[in-house]
A and B are shown apart, each in its own frame.
Chain A
């Protein structure tokens, strides 16, 4: 009996002497489910490098992500680190759901990392002069075309939207039913982003420095671009797809010549392993007078819940720093393996990245595009406004509403929200 007691005490002592097992802290990490296996593998590497911290990954689909997160915040569901989007970040910051990174990081750490982040991406992760996230990936929206189709038809790569129309009409006359394939899903933020990217190509400013909307003016380039889209639909030049994942096979049927999507889609389009027309696709500067486009960053963000608990805050910072901080191993992995863009500028000089990207894109064109990319205008109420405006855009494109009324309604709603927010 005495032996049994002694053995029990010894076992208890051993357990108590192993803080790694007894005091593991588990971070709740919430993501959308893009390439979940890679996420899990990155998490595993973090756990190996940080004994005592475990990370539980919860994933949602991209269309369900935003509302699932809002539900988690509203329901106080334990959530420590999340994927953040540039369009939600100010609203979540204003609502007190997320915390500035300098509240969880050692002094000066965020400022040091900021120096390496591309301008548009830094804008996207900043709210009220505080950095709320480090980039998970950063990308631009690109105008992509099929080189072979254009070469066979003797069409030069279009440089303006009017040239896109002319090229599409020529292809249609030659038997291509819908030369343009377009991601048309009013519930996705991409839908508005793609429109902004096109308008930026024309040199549009959608808002002035005081955040007054400018796009309802018929002379504004955004107004003209919506008119262009409505005309293209009316002429039967466009085929809608509900998601980029369907644009990839659609472009690979050879039945379409142009599309406007996130740049990383080009990597999937040119993936020889599973796409029959891999190698035929290239990006061209966004049509228009300035060729600018929209650049954006998705980021790792720490919640206010985590920041309020010193132990969790410390672990959350370690995790964010591992995923997005120097030496940028994880960001590089996403770039090399998946073709995801990045905001960490030193990676543009990385040989592995250059070699990997060279397989599916002209790296110089990518760099040129990133250099002139512009951040979107994001405020506390912009995601609410965008949710209101996207269905209006969708209606105008397919001719169910006039461009003039759509832009007027959009501007009115923006002003209403702006005033409401100012008086809150």
Chain B
């Protein structure tokens, strides 16, 4: 393998991986802070893409502003969903699973009815290639990487340096104690869901120029997201980063080497990881006995 090819595959893997990291981080945040497993998480990704598309293509808004606006739309929608639905069943994972499946059905079909089945797309904002290390790298992909990294840094800042972030971490550690400390846990849960889902929405907006937008793109993404959680552990943000990058890289290099079989390879590796580390690479297993 030439170094040029290697670099291309690497950048490819990084771009895909960072997108997974972004979406998975959102899911992990919601799971860790609000203890909700949101099966509709993929749909927020899809909605972010459509919102960006609608703003950018239909209303001719600047791409970057579209992304930010769609982020707010998704965040607001997520907060509403929390208050109306998950607030009542929070803590019971099975009920949340069922409710979020219902939500997923509604969103997917809603998007289908609104936008139709044909694939949508946005024209590329970043065009051309950059030459790095002898390889011709699409600027688009580099832009994706940079955008995702920037957002993750923003997330880090939010969680570590702001009051809200501290509240979220406190709630994640122990909700009762956090409540006793005067933290409005309901608000924190709603905001966690808003932030988590908007991460997915942002990811949707970012990839809108690269991939086709369809109503069921959320499903496939959700499965990839599960894989990230499996590899990285359900509770660890760091795990999400590692997991996302690992999966992105494996798929990128894997497709080149193995073609379609790369997915089976990936699943099998995950299966083996699970046997030895049932909680994922960074996770902890809480036994019931």
- Asked if chains A and B come from one complex, the reply is no
* A residues neighboring B (CB under 8 Å): none
* B residues neighboring A (CB under 8 Å): none
